[in-house]
Structure formats: C-alpha cells, structure tokens
Copies of this chain bind each other. A is one copy, B any other.
Amino acid sequence: MKFQLPKYHEPDFTKPLFVDAPNAKLKEVTLDGVAPNNFHSTSMYPEYFKINGKWLLAEESRMDSSVVLSEDGKLMVVENRNLEKGQKVIIGRTEKAEEGIYMWCHGFEAKAQSKLDDQFVFRQGRSRETSYSKDYDKLISLLKYEKANEGYVVWVMGPAFSFDAKARSTMQALVENGYCQALMAGNALATHDLEGAYFHTALGQDIYTQESQPNGHYNHLDVDNKVREAGSIPAFIENEKIDNGIIYSCVKNNIPIVLTSSIRDDGPLPEVIADAYQGQMAMREQVKKATTVITLATMLHTIATGNMTPSFRKQKDGVIRPLYFYSIDADEFVVNKLIDRGSLSATTMVTNVQDFITKVASGLNVI
C-alpha cells in the first residue's frame, strides 16, 4: 500500500452564502485570562472568519479556545486562560457563516462519495473485535511517507510502554530510524524506562523474565533520586553510561522530550514540568509542528493531546493536509472517551500497545 495525501478543497467563497455574510464581530478582553461573553470557541476542524470582507483561516487551531485577531491581521487560537487584556476576540456561536464564522468539516473528502443507506448495519463502533489489518497497513505506509517527506511524528506514551523489554527496544529502534520527531509522556514513563536501562526492571520486575527482584520496589525511587542528583536526564545517562531505551535514544538523537507532571508522580525527574498549564503549552509547541500524532496506553495524555490537536496542518509550503491522530489502548473505554469528548477524527485501535508497536516496527523493517 502506498500512501497518498488527500487534497484539501477550500470552501467556495464566491458563493452567496459567503459573499453575503457579515464580518465576524470582535470584542476586547478586559481581564487577563477571561474571554468576553459570547466568545466563539474553536473546534478541531478548519474554521474561517470573515475579516474586512475576506475569509481567513485560523491556521494553528485546537479545540475549545478563542480566536484572537492580532494587530498584523492574523488569527491566533488562544486558550482562554492565556488571553491578555486588550486582545480582540471573535464572538458568535454559529458556524455556517451567519455571523462571519464558518467551520469546514469536509475539506479532505473527495467529491463523489456515496454513503450506505441500510437501516441495519452491524458493528459501527470500534472495539477489540474490529478488523484492524487495513489500519495497520495504512499507518505503516503513512509513517514511511512522513519519513520521506519531512513529516513530524509525535509519540505520546503511558508508562506501560516501558514495562516490556521488547516494546521498549522496538520503540528505541523507531526513534533511531527516524520515525519519531517528538516524545511526550509523564514522569512514570521516563522513570521506568531509565529503571529498565539501569536495573533491567520496571517497578522492580524484570522487564523480560517478569521476575520480581529483591527489594525491587526501591528501584524506581533510586533512579529518580540518582537523576535528581545528577541534575538532568542527559547527565544521568552520561554518568551511568546508559546505552539503551526510549529516553536514551531520544537524547542521543536530539528528539525533543516533553515530560509533564501529574499528582501521582514520585520524584519527579528534573525535566518534568510541574505546572500543568505550562506543561500544556510545551505540549502544544510540539503539536503545532505535528503531521501525525500517535498516543499509546495513556488516558490522561491521550485526552490532553487530543484536546489540542486539530484535524489539519498547514505546511510551510502553504499546503493544507490532514493531521493524522492514532490512539491505541487496550481498553475500549479510553477510545470511547476520546470520542465522547469530541475528538472525532481519530483512528482508534483496541489492543495491547506492546503488540501494536512490534507489528508497526516489523512492517517498517526496523526490527
């Protein structure tokens, strides 16, 4: 299967619907971090706003944020808490041009699509019983495409990923072979991955044999403590001559790592961003570059990332393309929750992430 980007079709702004629409209204922020009444809130889809008679795209969008018209006439998508006094925010809560606001969900659809009109169709949801063969094939061809075309693939991981020796070494191989441009995770993934490198355990259990090690419950605490003593993850890696693992390979290959905090952290490692909202900003910096996002075995980080990931990306060359979002989890609940919260355009797969990653890497011939 060879991957091909679908073309983006802009709305036809010469139609009366658009020509006759009013300009979007703006209102000034009067209090830092507070949006004006009736603020318009963004979705994951491309949205256009009529400004001085012209329809402008908010290029770097995300869900649940306000749209600010900057002084140089650009549209910025800003979380309400980051709004600043004096900024001009678009107001209005219609989306079909009535108030100069247009949400465009069908930009990547080919023209002639017919839908099945049966009254009974089985198995419309995504579950462990869904057939995923084609999804694997498509994802593998997508990742090849991204590598060949300077895509930016962001991986988002829960701690489980570091519990299995093979999953861990496979992810390392993906990093080393150019299939990962950024890693986002919490303190636990990083700690247990480094525990794997230092003690060959995760939470004290051997990552290959599953055998619990004597006093192994100290291992992650010792790793946290030693990294804190070293002052940084790279210093720890150098001091202790760490030579394997996910974190190691990211550091070695200059892949940015964003580690965000949670209230269940031990430690934390020095690089972890303690403030959740600064953490979100650091995550969004990566997402703003992303062309594909893959989240694995973490409800917290999956939903956090889903909230800030639009369905499209404007490339440097001006081309608008889909931003692909894959979410893999062993639990249908996580997958459904993502959809319940409005992240509708994700491809979700229900499986153990250990198996997922080895199948993908095998398809890419890196293991």
A residues sitting closer than 8 Å to B (CB atoms) are 31, 33-35, 39, 41, 43, 64, 80-81, 93, 95, 103, 105, 116, 118-125, 127-134, 136, 159-160, 163-167, 202-218, 221, 224-225, 228-229, 260-268, 274-280, 283, 297, 299-301, 303-304, 307, 330-333, 336-337, 339-342, 350-352, 354-356, 358-359, 362
Whole-angstrom CA separation of A341 from B167 in the bound complex = 21
Contact between chains at A116 and B212 (CB < 8 Å): yes
* A215 smallest CB distance to B (angstroms): 6
Contact for A276 among B209, B276, B350, B354, CB less than 8 A? B276
* 16 A-B pairs with C-beta separation under 8 A: A41-B221, A121-B204, A122-B205, A122-B217, A125-B125, A127-B337, A129-B163, A129-B340, A261-B276, A263-B280, A264-B304, A265-B276, A275-B276, A332-B336, A351-B354, A352-B352
Contact between chains at B333 and A127 (CB < 8 Å): yes
Whole-angstrom CA separation of A211 from B121 in the bound complex = 10
Contact between chains at A303 and B264 (CB < 8 Å): yes
Whole-angstrom CA separation of A342 from B228 in the bound complex = 24
Contact between chains at B131 and A163 (CB < 8 Å): yes
* A337 smallest CB distance to B (angstroms): 8
Given contacts A303-B264, A355-B352, contact A209 B127 (CB under 8 A): no
Whole-angstrom CA separation of A247 from B41 in the bound complex = 26
Given contacts A123-B203, A276-B274, A303-B264, contact A80 B224 (CB under 8 A): yes
Copies of this chain, whole number: 4
* A11 smallest CB distance to B (angstroms): 15
Contact between chains at A210 and B340 (CB < 8 Å): no
In the A-B complex, list the 4 residue pairs whose CB atoms are closest, starting with the nearest: A351-B352, A355-B355, A261-B276, A133-B166
Contact between chains at A203 and B122 (CB < 8 Å): yes
Given contacts A134-B209, A203-B122, A352-B128, contact A33 B164 (CB under 8 A): no
Contact between chains at B307 and A118 (CB < 8 Å): no
Whole-angstrom CA separation of A359 from B361 in the bound complex = 12
Contact for A274 among B206, B264, B277, CB less than 8 A? B277
Given contacts A116-B212, A133-B164, A263-B276, contact A351 B342 (CB under 8 A): no
Contact between chains at A301 and B263 (CB < 8 Å): yes
Residues of B within 8 A of A341 (CB): 122, 203
Given contacts A163-B129, A218-B93, A333-B332, contact A277 B300 (CB under 8 A): no
Residues of B within 8 A of A164 (CB): 130-133
Contact between chains at A228 and B80 (CB < 8 Å): yes
